[in-house]
Structure 1
Amino acid sequence: MSLLRIESLSKSFDGVKAVDGVSFDLEAGQLLALIGPNGAGKSTCFNMINGQLTPTSGSIRFDGHELAGKRPRDIWRLGVGRTFQIAATFNSMTVLENVQMALLSHERRVFSLFGRVASWRADDALALLDLVGIASHAKRSCAVLAYGDVKRVELAIALANAPKLLLMDEPTAGMAPQERNELMALTARLAKQRNIGVLFTEHSMDVVFEYADRLIVLARGRLIAQGDANTIRNDARVREVYLGTGASFAPRAMLNDGDAS
């Protein structure tokens, strides 16, 4: 049974179909890349799964639950983690406090981190930071971290609810090549070790072809191809949609088409 099953998912804005009858599934422990040119409907599809948008029609089944129409916080508490294209952390707090806040939220607790609760689940938060390789920065403010380190903090936050599904929107945006590969290698390792399904959007084709187990390709709101890296690399329709010439993708080629739409 698939961890995530999308069936005939559609979303219209003022009569225009941003996503049109998209269906796919994702297995636990698998990395699935959702790619496509600008305006393909990637972000719309992504945001429906996360609850930021309500589908016009279709089904989003996750671990036995229907997600369509649920609020993002309710989806998060079902075991869906999320990272964003622009890393979302609290710069006024330390790295450790950021992860503690996520743990507090997951348990529906509301406290001030500046009172006695400052030590609440600190060991658990530190363990998550160690997991993503940034425990040494626990007491530093997020405001002074390098961007690649902020991305690791965000990943630790996304893991605070022990997710079964991790949604990553442009996880390597703004990162240097070495940082990109280190973050995705870490993500792939955690996905296998913890049996987490990962759905990610990405414009850097080197990242996609190196780390995705499977790829799905959208164009003008419709799914036009799916398969492993070789299948997608050699798909004539995908080459035409991306490059307009039918030219082949080269392994680890760099294609940056800008907006994560």
Structure 2
Amino acid sequence: MSPVLKVEHLSKSFDGVDAVKDVSFDLMPGELKALIGPNGAGKSTCFNMLMGQLKPSSGEVFLRGKPVTGLPPRRIWRMGVGRTFQITGTYQSMTVAENVQMALISHHRRLFAVIPYAYRLYRDEALALLELVGMADQADRACSILAYGDLKRLELAIALSHRPGLLLMDEPTAGMAPRERAALMQLTADIVRDRGISVLFTEHDMDVVFTHAHHIMVLNRGELIAAGTAAEIRADERVQQVYLGGGTLFSRDGRDA
């Protein structure tokens, strides 16, 4: 089986400082993989290179065997890569359904011919996506009055609008309550299983990471210092020292995680 995403020796420097240094990994079909590390480890920089927002200083990125290094974000998006961000970016003046409809209009290449009647286009498809993420009952609510957890679910529906084979999720549960975090990541895991989508996500909540990730990578000061299953990462002494200050990973009930 060939990887959906292959990263080889990816590096990025800013004024001589290495933000990401010689990072290599594969992401397989249907895999849910976490990229974790302390603040400033280089996670978002890595994501921005994968999606084309930043050009790497060196290294290569391949999507289903095709080189995409340095391509603009829209080209990469068209090749089947979706992304969610740490801070949501929905249209606050539009309804929930209209936000998804706008994404679908872009996917179907109808942006420049729809101004008078855009609200009619792809509504059924938008409602189906909202049903998938548990937001169908809020389809006609304005985004400006949504709770933050609901905005995160809406952003996921938008990211799924062009049927991506690869989804990049940058801190998907940031700013959410613990119960909302668990619900969103369970939803993501269900979508991975049902649709065969590959997901790479960054996250600071270790309960979320260890519960849902098939494999985990640990980044520190731009370098990949460990990769493996949850059990292997928990037991890795370097991860404990560098990422967790020498402590032990615990679950919420206090037991060793």
Q: TM class, shorter-chain normalised?
A: over 0.9
* Contact 2:220/2:243 (8 A) holds in 1: no
Query: What amino acid maps onto 1:157 in structure 2?
Result: I
Tell me, in whole angstroms, the C-alpha distance in 2 between the residues paired with 1:79 and 1:251: 35
CA–CA distance in structure 2, aligned partners of residues 201 and 142 of structure 1: 25
**Contact 1:206/1:253 (8 A) holds in 2:** no
State the distance in 1 between where 2:251 and 2:196 align. Answer: 27
Q: Which residue in 2 is equivalent to 1:208?
A: 209
Amino-acid identity (%)? 61
- Distance in 2 (alpha carbons) for counterparts of 1:161 and 1:243: 38
CA–CA distance in structure 2, aligned partners of residues 238 and 165 of structure 1: 27
Matching residue's letter, 2:54 = L
* Residues 152-193 of structure 1: CA deviation (Å, up to 9, x unaligned): 110000000100000001100111111100000000000111
Distance in structure 2 (CA, Å) of the matches to 1:109 and 1:13: 38
What does residue 120 of structure 2 align with? 119
| CA displacement 1:181-229 (0-9 Å, x = unmatched) | 0000000000111110000000111111111110000111111000010
Q: Where does residue 189 of structure 2 map in the other structure? A: 188
Give the root-mean-square deviation of aligned CA atoms.
1.5
Q: Which residue of 1 aligns with 2:105?
A: 104
**CA distance in structure 1 between the partners assigned to 2:173 and 2:113 by the alignment:** 32
Query: Conserved in 2, the CA contact under 8 Å of 1:30 and 1:213?
Result: yes
Equivalence for 2:12: 11
**What's the CA shift for 1:252?**
5.1
Give the distance between the partners of 2:244 and 2:24, measured in 1 at CA: 24
Q: Which runs of 4+ in 1 moved over 6 A?
A: none
Q: Deviations over 1:111-148 (max 9, x none)?
A: 57662232111111111001111001111111111111
User: In structure 1, how many angstroms separate the alpha carbons of the residues matched to 2:109 and 2:99?
Assistant: 15
Where do 5+ consecutive residues of structure 1 fail to align? 255-261
Using the TM superposition, name which of 156-165 and 60-69 deviates more.
60-69
Instruction: List alignment gaps of at least 5 residues for structure 2.
Output: none
Alignment pair present for 1:165 and 2:166: yes
In structure 2, the residue matched to 1:41 is 42
Aligned residue pairs, count? 253
1:248 aligns with 2:243: no
1:41-190 equivalences in 2 (<5 Å): 41-111=42-112, 115-190=116-191
Q: Residues of 1 paired with 2:253 and 2:10: CA distance?
A: 31
Q: Deviations over 1:9-41 (max 9, x none)?
A: 011111111111000111111111001112211
Q: TM-score, normalised on structure 1?
A: 0.93
For 2:230 and 2:97, locate their aligned partners in 1 and report how far apart those are by CA, in whole Å: 37
How far does the alpha carbon of each residue in 1:71-124 deviate from its partner, in whole angstroms, 9 at most, with x for none? Answer: 111111110011010111000001111001101111222257662232111111
1:65 Cα deviation after fit: 2.1
Q: What TM-score, normalized to structure 2?
A: 0.95
Instruction: Provide the rounded CA distance (Å) in 2 between the counterparts of 1:243 and 1:78.
Output: 37
Which secondary structure does the structure 1 equivalent of 2:243 belong to? helix
Per mean C-alpha deviation after superposition, the further-off stretch among 90-99 and 56-65 is 56-65
Residue type matched to 1:69 in 2? G
